[in-house]
C-alpha cells in the first residue's frame, strides 16, 4: 500500500486526508525508519508495509467508532511503542487529546522528537508502567474517554491495564491480530470485575494483505475496584481468567 493507495483506501471509509496530513505521515515514516536503525521500534520498515500495517491499521478504530472522527475525546494509548495506534489517529483527527504511556524511555524520547517534527499539539508522553499510571491514587485513573492498546498481551491482561484508566461511560478499545473468541471467553470475569462489559468484537481483514484483524470494544460501566491494577508485572504473570 503506497501513500496514494493509503489515501484512497481511507477516502473509501469517509476519511479524507489533506496534503498537510499526508506530509505528516511521510515525515512519520522517514523518522521512524531513520530512528529504527539505532533504536528497536519496529520490524516493519518497507514503506508499503508501514503504510498498511502501521498507519492504516491504526486508523481502523475510526471505522467503527465515529466519535473518534469529530469529538474532542481524551485518548490514552497504553504501550504505544512507536506511537500506534494513537499518533496516526491524532494526525487524521487533530481534535483528539492524546496521552501515551510506555515503559521504555527510548520510545518516549522518539515520540517527543516525532511530535515536534510533526508539529503536534494536544499530546503528552509518559515513561511509566501502565499498572502505576492507572494506580488507585494516580491522577490519571479513570480519566480518559477512550483507552487503546495494540498489543500481543491477552485480553485479560490488557483489561487490567486499560480499564482502570477508562472513565465510567468511556470505552477500552483493543486492536488485535489474532482470533479473539478464546481470549474473550476466558476474560469475561476479568472484564466484569474491572467494571467493563464487552460491547463489540469487529472482525475484518486488512486490504491488500488480507491479514485478519479484530477491534474489541469494552464499555466501562462502573468504577474499577481500588485493588486493581495489581502491582507491576502481576497482571502478566497471574492473569484474571475464568
Domain parsing of the chain, residue ranges: 60-237
- Give the number of other Cβ atoms within 10 Å of residue 194's Cβ: 26
The residue-averaged pLDDT of 6-17 equals 98
Q: pLDDT at residue 233 above 80?
A: yes
pLDDT at 119: 97
So what's the pLDDT on residue 151? 76
8 A C-beta contact, residue 123 and residue 77: no
Average pLDDT rounded to a whole number, residues 99-125 = 97
Q: d(Cα 30, Cα 36) in Å, to the nearest integer?
A: 10
For the segment 36-60, the average pLDDT, to the nearest whole number, is: 97
Q: Distance between CA atoms of 79 and 86, rounded to whole angstroms?
A: 10
Please, which residues bridge with residue 184 across strands? none
pLDDT digits (tens, 9 = 90+) for 126-166: 999 999 999 999 999 999 999 999 977 899 999 999 999 99
Quote the pLDDT of residue 162. Answer: 98
Confidence of residue 27 (pLDDT cuts 50, 70, 90): very high
- Going by the annotation, the residues of the binding site for S-adenosyl-L-methionine are 79, 84, 130-131, 150
Phi, psi values for residue 163, rounded to 5°: -65, -35
Grid cell for residue 118: 510533526
Task: Note the CATH number of domain 60-237.
Answer: 3.40.50.150
Q: What is the pTM of this model?
A: 0.96
Q: What is the pLDDT of residue 74?
A: 99
Task: Tell me the mean pLDDT in the region 56-66.
Answer: 98
Residues in contact with 4: Cβ distance below 8 Å, sequence separation at least 6, in sequence order = none
Average pLDDT, integer, range 105-134: 97
Strand order in the sheet with 212-220: 123-127, 97-102, 74-78, 144-149, 166-176, 212-220, 196-205
Q: How far apart are CA 232 and CA 21, in angstroms?
A: 37
Q: 173: closest CA among 78, 107, 69, 82?
A: 78
Q: What is the pLDDT of residue 200?
A: 97
How many percent of the chain have pLDDT more than 90? 93
Identify the pLDDT of residue 179.
82
- Mind listing the pLDDT tens digit for each residue in 194-215? 999 999 999 999 999 999 999 9
Dist CA 111 CA 213 (whole Å): 25
User: Rounded to the nearest 5 degrees, what angle is found at the Cα of 177, between the Cα atoms of 108 and 46?
Assistant: 60
- What's the CA gap between 234 and 236, in Å, rounded? 5
Region of poorest pLDDT, from 66-75, 84-93, 148-157: 148-157
pLDDT at 80: 87
Give the pLDDT band (50/70/90) at residue 2.
Answer: very high
Could you tell me the pLDDT band of residue 71, with boundaries at 50, 70 and 90? very high
Question: How high is the pLDDT of residue 242?
Answer: 76
Q: What is the mean pLDDT of residues 52-71?
A: 98
DSSP letter for each residue of 168-234:
EEEEEEEEESS--HHHHHHHHHHHHHTTEEEEEEEEEE-TTT--EEEEEEEEE-SPPPTT-S-STTH
Three-state helix/strand/coil letters over 126-153:
EECCHHHHCCCCCCCCCCEEEEEECCCC
Binding positions are 79, 84, 130-131, 150
Residue 174's pLDDT is what?
A: 97
Amino acid at each position: 500500500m503506497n501513500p496514494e493507495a493509503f489515501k484512497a483506501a481511507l477516502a473509501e471509509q469517509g476519511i479524507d486526508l489533506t496534503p498537510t496530513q499526508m506530509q505528516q505521515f511521510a515525515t512519520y515514516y522517514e523518522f521512524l525508519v531513520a530512528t529504527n536503525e539505532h533504536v528497536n521500534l519496529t520490524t516493519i520498515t518497507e514503506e508499503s508495509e508501514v503504510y498498511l500495517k502501521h498507519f492504516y491499521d491504526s486508523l481502523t478504530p475510526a471505522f467503527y467508532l465515529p466519535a473518534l472522527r469529530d469529538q474532542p475525546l481524551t485518548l490514552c494509548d497504553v504501550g504505544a511503542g512507536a506511537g500506534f495506534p494513537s499518533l496516526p489517529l491524532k494526525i487524521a483527527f487533530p481534535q483528539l487529546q492524546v496521552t501515551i504511556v510506555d515503559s521504555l524511555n527510548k520510545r518516549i524520547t522518539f515520540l517527543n522528537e516525532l511530535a515536534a517534527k510533526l508539529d503536534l499539539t494536544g499530546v503528552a508522553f509518559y515513561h511509566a508502567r501502565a499498572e502505576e499510571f492507572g494506580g488507585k491514587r494516580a491522577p490519571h485513573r479513570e480519566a480518559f474517554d477512550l483507552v487503546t492498546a495494540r498489543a500481543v498481551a491477552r485480553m485479560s491482561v490488557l483489561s487490567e491495564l486499560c480499564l482502570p484508566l477508562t472513565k465510567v461511560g468511556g470505552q477500552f478499545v483493543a486492536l488485535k491480530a489474532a482470533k479473539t473468541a478464546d481470549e474473550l471467553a476466558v476474560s469475561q470475569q476479568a472484564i466484569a470485575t474491572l467494571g467493563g462489559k464487552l460491547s463489540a468484537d469487529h472482525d475484518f481483514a486488512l486490504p491488500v494483505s488480507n491479514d485478519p484483524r479484530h477491534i474489541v470494544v469494552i464499555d466501562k460501566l462502573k468504577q474499577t475496584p481500588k485493588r486493581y491494577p495489581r502491582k507491576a508485572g502481576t497482571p502478566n504473570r497471574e492473569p484474571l481468567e475464568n
